[in-house]
């Protein structure tokens, strides 16, 4: 196993971090447990590139897990943060920056008639579920297997091997009693969803869905899936909660679900809308949102919610997201996907397939299409690990897990892709070795 891709400084820093931080990291996806080896420590980044503490440079295809749509340290965002910081870091009281960002979001996502800011995507989704329950007076929610909606107790559930109604905690420390109210059905499976509603129609408050699943690689919704899901939910009086923490403002200037044939009652956002700072937001129809305190009886609060720096960064980010940039991003992403597919074939590194929706790429070492969690589980993890490490040694930073999304940023150009070709070729060759 070739796992020595981190430089000596990274390795030393990791040993030191491990002595005080659990596993040396603050989020398990940053550890290299899925690919082996030790994580690279970064010193900085600019545009399409990241610089590590050993002086090596990488093409950044992680983009802070999708947050950095404009690339690293975009000038307009950094300037907005600097200007805002000089006037005070936090007030715990209203500032105009909050409604200024909210107005920008609502003009792009009209379904969000009212919204509220929080500090992470986890908080947004957890709070939106509470609101859906408070609004409908119903206890249960439906999610799809392989969908990730943050780490709140009730949403860390996956389906057992039994019927869709038997969900199991995905983590120790989550009581079975809590995930009993989370029903899990396979992604892209309207029949299973319908069956679930037929059994539990009066109890289901909401269906949670990633309009494009981005946490089991990239899995697009099957034609008609989002529309059908909405029909089923509404027939039984349940809300549709579109978790757009990844897709919001990434696939277009707004929410993805409406351009994919669906309609949301509640939308959650995060990642891109914070311009690289911690943020989350949830919103929807006014009559639903007005169930939140202080107007209603669903409680949700946050000391640092609507944080001035995140608001300023988010507004500066959204102001940069013009239509022409999305068009260019689409071309770059398509170019990267085509090049990767042909290199994989030329280097004999097959089976390999890319599932791409806009700037979200799922790189799968598997032969069949990935349509749900069961097919995502069939990817060859060993081949991805070898591909990942060889790419890293060649100066390309990919997500350190075969089931995460590869993100293209607006800072990446065709020239950057050209420059990465030799590294990708070596990575595809490395992926072959020792594979069955
Ligand atoms: C990242 C993510 C979350 C959680 O957001 P955090 O800011 O990490 O808490 C929720 N939903 C989806 C779809 C995500 O990708």
Distance 65 CA to ligand 1 centre (A): 9
* 244 CB near ligand 1 (under 6 Å): no
- Check residue 201 and give its pLDDT: 87
**CB-based burial label for 322 (10 Å; 0-12, 13-18, 19+):** exposed
Which of 52, 181, 189, 243 does the annotation list as catalytic?
243
Beta carbons of 381 and 429 less than 8 angstroms apart: no
- Is residue 271 annotated as part of the catalytic site, yes or no? yes
Q: What is the pLDDT along the chain (436 residues), one digit of tens a residue?
A: 445 689 999 999 999 999 999 999 999 999 999 999 999 999 999 999 999 999 999 999 999 999 999 999 999 999 999 999 999 999 999 999 999 999 999 999 999 999 999 999 999 999 999 999 999 999 999 999 999 999 999 999 886 655 445 678 889 999 999 999 999 999 999 999 999 999 998 999 999 999 999 999 999 999 999 999 999 999 999 999 999 999 999 999 999 999 999 999 999 999 999 999 999 999 999 999 999 999 999 999 999 999 999 999 999 999 999 999 999 999 999 999 999 999 999 999 999 999 999 999 999 999 999 999 999 999 999 999 999 999 999 999 999 999 999 999 999 999 999 999 999 999 999 999 765 4
- Is residue 299 annotated as part of the catalytic site, yes or no? no
Among 152, 142, 291, CA closest to 204: 142
Among 420, 66, 34, 388, CA closest to 250: 66
Residue 288, φ and ψ in degrees, nearest 5: -80, -50
- Which pLDDT tens digit goes with each residue over 173-209? 999 999 999 999 999 999 999 999 999 989 999 999 9
Q: Structural domain boundaries of the chain?
A: 8-69+366-433, 75-320
Distance 117 CA to ligand 1 centre (A): 14
Distance 432 CA to ligand 1 centre (A): 33
What CA–CA distances, in Å, run from 370 to 164, 193, 221, 408, 430? 20, 19, 11, 20, 23
- Which pLDDT tens digit goes with each residue over 55-65? 999 999 999 99
Residue to mutate, 62, 215, 247, 248, ligand 1, most ligand atoms under 8 Å from C-beta:
215
Q: Which of the listed CATH numbers 2.30.30.180, 3.40.50.450, 3.40.50.9100, 3.40.640.10 matches domain 75-320?
A: 3.40.640.10
- Check residue 164 and give its pLDDT: 46
* 375 CB near ligand 1 (under 6 Å): no
Distance 150 CA to ligand 1 centre (A): 5
What CA–CA distances, in Å, run from 83 to 68, 89, 94, 117, 305? 20, 11, 18, 21, 19
Q: Is the dihedral of CA 331, 335, 336, 338 positive or negative?
A: positive
The residues, any chain, with a CB within 8 Å of residue 290's CB and separated by 6 or more, are: 114, 296
8-69+366-433 has which fold? 3.90.1150
* 243 CB near ligand 1 (under 6 Å): yes
Give CA–CA dist 436/433, Å, rounded: 9
- Check residue 159 and give its pLDDT: 67
- Check residue 5 and give its pLDDT: 86
- Is residue 367 annotated as part of the catalytic site, yes or no? no
Same CATH topology for 8-69+366-433 and 75-320: the answer is no
Among 398, 405, 412, 421, CA closest to 332: 412
- Check residue 167 and give its pLDDT: 79
Residue 280, φ and ψ in degrees, nearest 5: -155, 160
- Check residue 158 and give its pLDDT: 82
Which of 52, 58, 60, 148 does the annotation list as catalytic?
148
- Record the pTM: 0.97
């Amino acid at each position: 196993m070739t796992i020595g891709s981190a430089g000596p400084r990274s390795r030393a820093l990791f040993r030191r971090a491990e002595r005080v931080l659990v596993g040396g990291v603050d989020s398990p996806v940053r550890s290299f447990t899925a690919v082996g080896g030790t994580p690279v420590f970064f010193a900085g980044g600019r545009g399409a590139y990241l610089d590590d503490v050993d002086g090596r440079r990488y093409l950044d295809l992680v983009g802070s897990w999708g947050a950095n749509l404009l690339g690293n340290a975009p000038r307009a965002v950094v300037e907005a943060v600097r200007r805002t910081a000089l006037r005070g870091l936090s007030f715990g009281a209203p500032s105009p920056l909050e409604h200024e960002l909210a107005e920008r979001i609502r003009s792009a996502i009209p379904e969000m008639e009212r919204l509220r800011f929080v500090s992470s995507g986890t908080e947004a989704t957890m709070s939106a579920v509470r609101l859906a329950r408070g609004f409908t007076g119903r206890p249960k929610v439906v999610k799809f297997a392989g969908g990730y909606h943050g780490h709140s107790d009730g949403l860390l559930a996956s389906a057992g091997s039994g019927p869709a109604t038997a969900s199991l905690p995905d983590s120790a420390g989550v009581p079975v009693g809590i995930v009993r109210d989370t029903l899990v059905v396979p992604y892209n499976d309207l029949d299973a969803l319908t069956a679930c509603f037929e059994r539990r129609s009066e109890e289901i408050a909401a269906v949670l869905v990633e309009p494009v699943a981005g946490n089991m690689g990239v899995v697009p919704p099957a034609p008609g899936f989002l529309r059908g899901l909405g029909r089923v939910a509404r027939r039984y009086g349940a809300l549709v909660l579109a978790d757009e923490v990844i897709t919001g403002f990434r696939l277009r200037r707004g929410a993805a679900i409406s351009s994919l044939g669906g309609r949301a009652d509640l939308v959650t956002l995060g990642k891109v809308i914070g311009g690289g700072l911690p943020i989350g937001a949830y919103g929807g129809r006014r009559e639903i949102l007005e169930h939140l305190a202080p107007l209603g009886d669903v409680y949700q609060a946050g000391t640092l919610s609507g944080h001035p720096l995140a608001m300023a960064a988010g507004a500066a980010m959204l102001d940069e997201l013009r239509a022409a940039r999305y068009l260019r991003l689409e071309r770059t992403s398509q170019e990267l996907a085509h090049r990767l597919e042909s290199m994989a074939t030329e280097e004999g590194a097959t089976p390999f397939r890319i599932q791409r929706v806009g700037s979200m790429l799922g790189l799968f070492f598997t032969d069949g299409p990935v349509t749900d969690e069961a097919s995502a589980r069939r990817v060859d993890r060993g081949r991805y690990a070898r591909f990942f490490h060889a790419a890293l040694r060649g100066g390309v930073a990919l997500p350190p897990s075969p089931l995460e999304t590869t993100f293209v940023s607006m800072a990446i150009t065709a020239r950057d892709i050209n420059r990465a070709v030799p590294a990708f070729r070596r990575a595809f060759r490395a992926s072959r070795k020792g594979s069955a």
